[in-house]
Structure 1
Amino acid sequence: MSPDRTVYSTHPRPQPRCETCGELASVCGCEPQSIAPNKQTARLAHDRKRRRGKVVTVVSGLVLSEAQLDELAKLLKSQCGAGGTIKDSEIEIQGEHREKVAGILQKLGFKIKLVGG
């Protein structure tokens, strides 16, 4: 058996690597390559932790530049009629808008995965 072959890991997901340089994505200095929307999966979740019981819809898992992420957040906020922000490359929309956001992202060509309850 090869010593570099992982047989079992307790880590839920391996760390993503940069397509360009091969470094871990968290330490890579490369500008993110724009990936076509139909090859990306947006993970939509409700979250109320650290928000005093207020619910936000979180869109994560997208590989977009800061400008593209900002433009998408602006579109989602205006379509939902709610406020929101971008934190750690995740878009947070105030309120329970998961179904509406899913519809908007599907029209833009993204794949959708609903996460959580």
Structure 2
Amino acid sequence: MDLKDQLKNLFPDHQESEDEVIKKSNVWLQEEPLLCKYEKRKGKATTIIDGYTGATSDFKQLAKEIKQMLSVGGSFKDDTIIIQGDYRDKIMEFLKDKGFKVKRVGG
């Protein structure tokens, strides 16, 4: 039984307002924006996400979610997420929905 369930038992008449509902994210949210870049590596388009200051395991989980959402390949190296293809707009929208601040770099 988590804290939210315990509070519901103590205050059964309380209704949650829209302001109290926070988007659930299982990764740590940071104040600084994530950087979303476009690069060409060996002639192929890649999208790079950089600037995360949280735990490495959280960033790996975020990389996995992005790759599954886009159904593309990618990797996690040197505290950056590398996604195959130019998906900056979709990735930025996904990260904003998760609650991150995102900054587009270049182009």
TM-score by length of 1: 0.65
Secondary structure at the counterpart of residue 73 of structure 1: helix
Number of aligned positions between the proteins: 81
State which structure, 1 or 2, has the greater radius of gyration over its C-alpha atoms: 2
1:43 is aligned to 2:38:
no
| Root-mean-square deviation over aligned CA pairs | 1.5
1:68 is aligned to 2:52:
no
Q: Which amino acid aligns with 1:41?
A: P
In percent, how many aligned pairs have the same letter?
33
Instruction: Tell me how far apart the structure 1 counterparts of residues 100 and 30 of structure 2 sit (CA, whole Å).
Output: 5
**Runs of 4+ displaced beyond 4 Å:** none
Instruction: Summarize the alignment of residues 97-108 of structure 1 with structure 2, pairs less than 5 Å apart.
Output: 97-108=87-98
Q: Could you say which structure has the higher helix fraction?
A: 2
Secondary structure at the counterpart of residue 39 of structure 1: coil
1:15 is matched with none
2:69 is matched with 79
Instruction: Name structure 1 gaps, 5 residues minimum.
Output: 1-34
Tell whether the 8 Å contact from 1:38 to 1:109 is kept in structure 2 after alignment.
no
Q: Which amino acid aligns with 1:97?
A: Y
How much does 1:36 deviate? 5.0
Instruction: Tell me how far apart the structure 1 counterparts of residues 29 and 46 of structure 2 sit (CA, whole Å).
Output: 23
With CA pairs under 8 Å and 6+ residues apart, which has the higher RCO, 1 or 2? Answer: 2
- 1:92 pairs, out of 51, 69, 82, with 82
- 1:112 pairs, out of 77, 90, 102, with 102
Tell whether the 8 Å contact from 1:43 to 1:113 is kept in structure 2 after alignment.
yes
Instruction: Tell me how far apart the structure 2 counterparts of residues 76 and 82 of structure 1 sit (CA, whole Å).
Output: 9
